[in-house]
């Protein structure tokens, strides 16, 4: 999944929103590098990626692409699914998309110690409204073109991109089917994390 979906399902407290983004910019082991709630959110980001990559509905969606383009189809699908979420935001959230993205941009602007790569892109993310602009399909094409330019072999992604218009309706249906599964997975993970934190804060009664 891409930025917007991770932010939507990864928890709405400030540290959870930041961790949902950090997951794309922080690599390697985490122990002690960040505050506990932030680390937990980065771990959830990684679990969401694994859940998504292994899910049969995602494998079926990727199989819609021509076999030779499937190596890069996952990148195209991640960005396209953010388009679907932004386009249909009102079906999945009570808060408006503009209010939600504004909150995220405000958190990024107020955080003095962002990971280096995120610190570089955060101002552009806000200025160009990367999250909210995904509702327009033309932005999907522009975003994927930008990713392709950073690849050593961009031809595969360009070919996958060319298939997206013809797959627009079936992939939109795939998103609608898959996303509730992702929401349920993330909600269960957040509930487990909350239960773990609560149990760790319980102080045993002193022995008489």
**49: burial class by Cβ within 10 Å (0-12, 13-18, 19+)?**
middle
Assess contact for 17 and 45: CB atoms under 8 A: no
What is the per-residue pLDDT for 59?
A: 97
What is the per-residue pLDDT for 30?
A: 86
Nearest CA to 38 out of 144, 98, 118, 101 is that of: 118
pTM of this structure: 0.90
What is the per-residue pLDDT for 48?
A: 96
Q: Which long-range contacts (CB under 8 A, 24 or more apart) does 184-189 make?
A: 185/48, 185/51, 186/9, 186/10, 186/11, 186/44, 186/48, 187/9, 189/44, 189/47
What is the per-residue pLDDT for 95?
A: 96
What is the per-residue pLDDT for 57?
A: 97
Check the CA dihedral 101-104-110-114 and report its sign: negative
What is the rounded (10 degree) CA torsion for 101, 107, 112, 115? Answer: -50
What is the per-residue pLDDT for 102?
A: 97
**Alpha helix (H) residue ranges in the chain:** 3-9, 14-22, 36-54, 56-62, 70-87, 97-110, 116-127, 137-149, 155-201
What is the per-residue pLDDT for 1?
A: 81
Residue with tokens 């405000």: 106
Q: Report helix, strand or coil for 29.
A: coil
Q: Where are the domains of the chain?
A: 3-172+180-191
> Tens-of-pLDDT digits for all 208 residues of the chain?
899 999 999 999 999 999 999 999 999 888 788 999 999 999 999 999 999 999 999 999 999 999 988 889 999 999 999 999 999 999 999 999 999 999 999 999 999 999 999 999 999 999 999 999 999 999 999 999 999 998 888 898 999 999 999 999 999 999 999 999 999 999 999 998 777 655 555 555 654 4
CA 158 and chain centroid, separation: 22
């Amino acid at each position: 999944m891409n930025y917007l979906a991770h932010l939507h399902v990864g928890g709405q407290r400030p540290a959870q929103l930041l961790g949902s983004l950090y997951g794309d910019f922080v690599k390697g082991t985490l122990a002690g590098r960040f505050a506990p709630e932030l680390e937990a959110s980065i771990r959830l980001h990684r679990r969401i990626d694994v859940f998504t990559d292994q899910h049969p509905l995602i494998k079926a969606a990727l199989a819609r692409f021509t076999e030779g383009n499937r190596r890069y189809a996952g990148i195209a699908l991640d960005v396209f699914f953010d388009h679907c979420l932004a386009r249909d935001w009102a079906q999945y959230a009570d808060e408006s998309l503009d209010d939600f993205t504004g909150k995220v941009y405000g958190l990024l602007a107020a955080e003095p110690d962002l990971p280096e790569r995120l610190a570089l892109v955060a101002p552009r993310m806000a200025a160009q409204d990367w999250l909210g602009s995904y509702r327009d399909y033309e932005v999907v094409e522009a975003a994927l073109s930008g990713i392709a330019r950073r690849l050593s072999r961009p031809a595969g992604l360009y070919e996958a991109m060319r298939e997206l218009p013809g797959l627009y309706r079936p992939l939109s249906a795939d998103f609608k089917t898959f996303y509730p599964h992702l929401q349920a997975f993330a909600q269960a993970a957040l509930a487990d994390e909350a239960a773990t934190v609560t149990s760790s804060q319980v102080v045993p009664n002193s022995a008489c």
